[in-house]
Amino acid sequence: MTESTNQFVIPKGTIDLIGIFVGITRERFSDVAPGFPWKWDADRNLTKIFIDAGGVDTYESNDARSGIFIDRSSLVYNKLLLNDLADYNMKSGAKDYLCRSSGQVAIDCIAKNRGESSQLGDMCGMHLLMSDDVFRAFYNIQDIGPISVQNTQPWEKDDRVFVTRVTCEFSYDMSWRMKPAADRLDRVRALIIPSIN
């Protein structure tokens, strides 16, 4: 099965960032030794564990298979420079901007029993820790920690299963260029003035 990216999913956007974490987690559970109980496979009929994005909307509560579900919390754009302005081209009037984005990813390791959920949480936490160089290769992600493996407890969405939540903070630099403000104002006026008349 080959997955394709929607044309509107932008680099470093929410869906793209979650996709990186999903891909790295699937990689951990796909190339495993014979007899490993949680081998991930792209074929939903063959996989022994669900690994997907989102707030566990796809979790099949009656299915005996374990699941790992990945989502992110708030994304914060932090200022590195005054007004985020990094450079100004006097000839063209273009301005370059820079800021640092930071956020947190939550990985919910769901299983029918406490021990299995705890074991999956440990594996995910250690794999994130050991994948620092892989994250740096994607969009020059600056930092990938601290990583926290929380206590295992009954899942608030379905008390028949247990959850061990792994959280991980991340940050990366964002840059963009703006054309001269006069050009943008002309375009905005062109859109607004006809609607006024």
- What is the pLDDT, as a whole number, of residue 136? 80
Q: Is residue 5 part of a domain?
A: no
**Span 60-68, mean pLDDT?**
67
- What is the pLDDT, as a whole number, of residue 48? 92
User: How many domains in the chain?
Assistant: 1
pLDDT digits (tens, 9 = 90+) for 69-128: 999 888 888 777 667 677 777 777 788 887 888 889 999 999 999 999 999 999 999 999
- What is the pLDDT, as a whole number, of residue 54? 76
Range of the domain at 76: 14-196
Hey, what are 80's tokens? 């590195």
Q: Is residue 2 part of a domain?
A: no
Of 1-5, 16-20, 49-53, 137-141, the range with the lowest mean pLDDT is: 1-5
Could you check whether the bond before residue 180 is cis, i.e. omega within 30 degrees of 0? no
For residues 146 and 4, which has the higher predicted lDDT (pLDDT)?
146
Is there a contact between 25 and 68 (Cβ–Cβ < 8 Å)?
A: yes
Q: Is residue 146 part of a domain?
A: yes
Q: Is residue 144 part of a domain?
A: yes
pLDDT digits (tens, 9 = 90+) for 126-177: 999 998 888 888 767 777 879 999 999 998 877 788 999 999 988 888 877 7
Distance CA 54, CA 69 (A): 6
- What is the pLDDT, as a whole number, of residue 72? 86
Q: Is residue 3 part of a domain?
A: no
Q: Is residue 161 part of a domain?
A: yes
- What is the pLDDT, as a whole number, of residue 62? 43
Q: Is residue 160 part of a domain?
A: yes
- What is the pLDDT, as a whole number, of residue 10? 61
Q: Is residue 6 part of a domain?
A: no
- What is the pLDDT, as a whole number, of residue 5? 59
CA distances in angstroms from 58 to 44, 52, 70, 139, listed in the order given: 12, 8, 11, 28
- What is the pLDDT, as a whole number, of residue 177? 74
